């Protein structure tokens, strides 16, 4: 299992699509920085193929005023959770 | 576990440096070892010794240096990416006939081969891009 | 060329930018060349806009900025022969194999995920 890390907004080009196309069926995806916008209920459908394997970084949601606006289907992790995700994955890939 | 970080975002332009520094501290706090932070692409600007951010902003250069002082993390800057962008230590500056220099210890200029070795030898390599 | 079977390797470099606009393509190729020079098994995947990086006929910039054509021609010398290109991106940019400087295997999404899986280290540029 690999952890894919996306830091770009869904509207900023094709980065999200690239990450999704490189994922196997057990890989996980973590949204950080502007990537956290993807956790909004109106945008989260873009990740419908990986339900249950989508994570978002709490600090970046909070800093952007998006903490109470994210979709419940996305798992919120803090930076410790980010480290844990990298421990559990054999490898990480960053898409920026 | 043994970690390495690859940082390719410019300080204060992109969030990448802040994300990477935050992640570095968190993994060390969890008892992991961080071998190296490798600076490539615009990430090399993190090594600019003359960086003078306002006092109420995080000082990234000091932040990296503290990782080195407190945890022995090596700070490796890709020499080819750095020289192009005007970042060089005293030795390179004199080799290029420049007065003054822009990179100093604990940052070290090194080849890209180090990055590949790190990626293959450490348990985890985590990249922060712009 | 289509082939699901891709050999395992040490390093996969994913190139997602064309030449000239940014230094990503050049700096990504540099990483690949250095990996190969250090004796690693290196593969390249041209993905998204990166497929334009394979185009024949690329030249220098107006100020004499180096293009990536000469670097691509060096790949074989460095024994980097595992070249892959995202099929979907080729269609998106209306490109075919004959437009490319080098022969690359065309991969769909499943094959891309498999390729990533087979490499110990994957760097995205």
Is residue C62 one of the residues assigned to a domain? yes
Sign of the CA dihedral with B101 first, then B103, B108, and B114 last: negative
Q: Identify the domain containing residue C42 by its residue range.
A: 9-124
Is residue C79 one of the residues assigned to a domain? yes
Element (H, E) at A58: helix A58-63
DSSP state of B116: H
The nearest CA of chain A is from the CA of C75 a distance in Å of: 24
Percent over 70 (pLDDT), chain B:
100
Is residue C48 one of the residues assigned to a domain? yes
Percent over 90 (pLDDT), chain B:
100
The arithmetic mean of pLDDT across residues B26-47, rounded, is: 98
Whole-angstrom distance, CA of residue A37 vs CA of residue A42? 10
- The total number of structural domains that make up chain C: 1
Are A22 and C113 spatial neighbours (Cβ–Cβ below 8 Å)? yes
Is residue C4 one of the residues assigned to a domain? no
Question: What are chain A's domains?
Answer: 2-95 (3.40.1260.10)
- What does the pLDDT read at residue A67? 95
Is residue C22 one of the residues assigned to a domain? yes
pLDDT tens-digit series, residues B70-124: 999 999 999 999 999 999 999 999 999 999 999 999 999 999 999 999 999 999 9
Sign of the CA dihedral with C32 first, then C36, C42, and C46 last: positive
Percent over 90 (pLDDT), chain C:
88
CB spacing of A5 vs B32 below 8 angstroms: no
- What does the pLDDT read at residue B91? 97
pLDDT tens-digit series, residues C10-30: 999 999 999 999 999 999 999
Q: What are the average pLDDT values for consecutive 10-residue runs of chain A, which has 96 residues? A: 97 95 96 98 95 97 96 97 98 97
pLDDT tens-digit series, residues A49-74: 999 999 999 999 999 999 999 999 99
The nearest CA of chain C is from the CA of B42 a distance in Å of: 10
Best of C34, C65, C124 to substitute, by most chain B Cβ atoms within 10 angstroms, is C34
Are B129 and B16 spatial neighbours (Cβ–Cβ below 8 Å)? yes
Is residue C109 one of the residues assigned to a domain? yes
3-62 of C, contacting A, C-beta below 8 A: 14, 16, 47-48
Secondary structure of chain C in the HEC alphabet?
CCCCCCCCEEEEEEECCCCCCCCHHHHHHHHHHHHHHCCCCEEEEECHHHHHHHECCCCCCCCCCCCCHHHHHHCCCCCCCEEEEEHHHHHHCCCCHHHECCCCEEECHHHHHHHHHCEEEEEEC
- What does the pLDDT read at residue C9? 86
CB spacing of C16 vs A2 below 8 angstroms: no
Cα nearest neighbour of A18 on chain C? C48
Whole-angstrom distance, CA of residue A95 vs CA of residue A4? 7
Q: Is the pLDDT of residue C32 over 60?
A: yes
CB spacing of A93 vs C117 below 8 angstroms: no
Q: Does A94 touch chain C (CB under 8 A)?
A: yes
- Mean pLDDT estimate for chain C: 92
Question: What are chain B's domains?
Answer: 2-128 (3.40.1260.10)
Task: Choose the weakest-confidence range: B25-39, C1-15, C37-51, C85-99.
Answer: C1-15
CATH number of the domain where residue C79 is located: 3.40.1260.10
Q: How far is CA B86 from CA B11, B89, C20, C31, C63, in A?
A: 15, 10, 20, 20, 19
pLDDT category, C4, cuts 50, 70, 90? very low
Is residue C2 one of the residues assigned to a domain? no
The nearest CA of chain A is from the CA of C66 a distance in Å of: 25
- What does the pLDDT read at residue C7? 56
Whole-model pTM over 0.90: yes
């Amino acid at each position: 299992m690999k952890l894919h890390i996306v830091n770009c907004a869904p509207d900023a080009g094709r980065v999200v699509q690239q990450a999704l196309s490189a994922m196997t069926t057990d890989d996980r995806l973590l949204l950080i920085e502007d990537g956290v916008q993807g956790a909004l209920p109106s945008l989260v459908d873009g990740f419908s193929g990986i339900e249950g394997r989508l994570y978002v970084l709490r600090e970046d949601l909070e800093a952007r005023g998006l903490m109470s606006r994210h979709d419940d289907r996305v798992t919120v992790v803090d930076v410790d959770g980010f480290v844990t995700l990298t421990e559990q994955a054999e490898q990480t890939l960053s898409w920026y | 576990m043994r970690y390495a970080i690859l940082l390719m975002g410019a300080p204060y332009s992109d969030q990448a440096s802040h994300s990477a520094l935050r992640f570095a501290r968190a993994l060390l706090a969890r008892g992991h070892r961080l071998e190296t932070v490798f600076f490539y692409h615009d990430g090399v600007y993190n090594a600019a010794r003359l960086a003078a951010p306002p006092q109420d902003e995080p000082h990234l250069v000091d932040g990296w240096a503290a990782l080195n002082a407190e945890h022995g993390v090596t700070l490796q800057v890709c020499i080819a990416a750095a020289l192009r962008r005007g970042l060089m230590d005293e030795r390179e500056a004199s080799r290029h006939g420049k007065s003054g220099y822009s990179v100093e210890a604990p940052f070290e200029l090194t080849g890209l081969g180090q990055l590949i070795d790190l990626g293959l030898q450490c348990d985890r390599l985590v990249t922060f891009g712009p | 060329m289509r082939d699901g079977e891709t050999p395992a390797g040490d390093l996969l470099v994913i190139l997602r930018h064309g030449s000239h606009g940014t230094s990503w393509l050049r700096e990504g190729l540099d990483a690949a060349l250095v990996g190969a020079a250090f004796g690693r098994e290196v593969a390249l995947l041209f993905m998204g806009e990166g497929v334009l990086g394979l185009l024949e006929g690329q030249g220098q910039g107006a100020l004499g900025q180096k293009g990536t054509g000469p670097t691509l021609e060096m790949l074989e010398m460095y024994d980097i022969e595992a070249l892959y290109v995202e099929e979907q991106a080729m269609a998106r940019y209306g490109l075919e194999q004959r437009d490319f400087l080098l022969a690359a295997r065309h991969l769909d999404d499943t094959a891309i995920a498999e390729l990533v899986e087979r490499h110990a280290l994957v760097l995205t540029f």
